[in-house]
Amino acid sequence: MAKNVLVLPGDGIGPEIVTEARKVLDLVNERFDLGLEVNEALVGGAAIDATGVPLPDETLAAARKADAILLGAVGGPKWDTNPDFAIRPEKGLLGIRSQLELFGNLRPAILYPQLAHASTLKPEVVSGLDILIVRELTGGIYFGQPRGIREKEGGIREGFNTYVYDENEIRRIGRVAFEAARARNKRLCSVDKANVLEVTVLWREIMEELSKEYPDVELSHMYVDNAAMQLVRAPKQFDVVVTGNMFGDILSDAAAMLTGSIGMLPSASLDENGKGMYEPCHGSAPDIAGQGKANPLATILSVAMMLRYSLNAGEAAEQIEAAVSKVLDQNLRTPDIMSEGMREVSTTEMGDAVVAAL
């Protein structure tokens, strides 16, 4: 049966990088006879402009039907001032994550040897860096109720959000993380703030409980403030890190930046059955949109992740990853990873180079 891939270009540099990623996807689709049917739909600011809402019903329906989703990026200043909080590009992204229960967010932070110099950290601190942040993506304070802005007595306004996790939510993301650690170096660090927040006391308790099922994985706990420090001090101490939605948002961005090349990092957001949405770790970068400066490699590597995790096409994934490595060896660099002696190329040239390497 034909498998279905939904492509959501989104905003800013989204359309440009997705165009390059589609070239790569189309090529392996043919070469490996994957029989993938690829469709596009609107999300984020692009959807607001066209339909008035960030997640149109047709997009959600298409996302439900798809076997895998490839997203560019969403958001931009154009829509940031919308007073109606529901009509923001981010709500499109959050809506898909939540409606499709894509709770398992895998964010690798890998330092490519060819880009070792790009990090702001000293080479000995980051060389060989390869950590995986597992972030819970459909719960926590992102989605907790009640939330809003209300008036107290005296007409004073207060804003409020709720950070909430139940046992089952913690358990299912815990399993994703323990399984990931088992497949890697068997060390899992759970990050919480259990000295202050009750919700993370429960988090820690469930992680401990789960660890009995994974005696081969070494579980440790770290407070989030310390984790932020340790990522800067000695990032290679980590193998897999698991944490909630908000802490994961912060730590995964810090971890990505350690590599100095966030334009290289893909991510996966998976549901219980391995269906997933794949997207680059970076944002929509409206400041460079439309200028051919964006690095398409994170999106191309997201295609590889998609092939591996959701489309059962591991060999195609490996070929793509090898092709990316090859273009780096050819000294081709988009502006974000440019350095002396390398050849600066545009978004399209980089995409074409990967296709050629394939």
Ligand X SMILES: CC(C)[C@H](C(=O)O)[C@@H](O)C(=O)O
* CA–CA separation, 167 and 169 (whole Å): 6
Identify what 166 binds: ligand X, its own copies, none; CB under 5 to 8 Å per kind.
its own copies
Active-site entry in 67, 91, 112, 142: 142
Binding residues: 97, 107, 135, 225, 249, 253, 283-295
By residue count, the chain amounts to: 358
Identify what 212 binds: its own copies, ligand X, none; CB under 5 to 8 Å per kind.
none
Q: Which of 168, 237, 291, 331 binds its own copies (CB under 8 A)?
A: 168
Q: Which stretch binds its own copies (CB under 8 A): 105-113, 226-234, 289-297, 340-348?
A: 226-234
Q: Tell me which residue of 73, 16, 47, 89 sits closest to 266, measured CA to CA.
A: 73
* CA–CA separation, 299 and 285 (whole Å): 14
Determine, following the binding rule CB under 6 A, whether residue 225 of this chain makes contact with ligand X: yes
Q: Which stretch binds ligand X (CB under 6 A): 57-65, 87-95, 235-243, 301-309?
A: 87-95
* CA–CA separation, 87 and 122 (whole Å): 42
* CA–CA separation, 335 and 292 (whole Å): 10
Determine, following the binding rule CB under 6 A, whether residue 90 of this chain makes contact with ligand X: yes
Q: Tell me which residue of 188, 247, 240, 246 sits closest to 223, measured CA to CA.
A: 247
Contacts with its own copies in 105-164 (CB under 8 A)?
120-122, 125, 141-142, 144, 147-149, 152, 156-164
| 4 φψ region: left (φ > 0), alpha (ψ -120 to 50), beta (else) | beta
Determine, following the binding rule CB under 8 A, whether residue 233 of this chain makes contact with its own copies: yes
Helix (H) or strand (E) holding 64: helix 57-65
Q: Which stretch binds ligand X (CB under 6 A): 54-62, 86-94, 145-153, 160-168?
A: 86-94
Contacts with its own copies in 279-318 (CB under 8 A)?
283
- 142 in active site: yes
Q: How many other C-beta atoms lie within 10 A of the C-beta of residue 85?
A: 11
* CA–CA separation, 78 and 89 (whole Å): 10
* CA–CA separation, 66 and 58 (whole Å): 12
Binding residues for Mg(2+): 225, 249, 253
* Per-residue contact string for residues 191-220; x = within reach of its own copies by CB under 8 A: --x-xxxxxxxxx-----------------
Q: Catalogue the active-site residues.
A: 142, 193, 225, 249, 253
Residues that bind ligand X (CB under 6 A): 75, 90, 93-94, 195-196, 225, 249
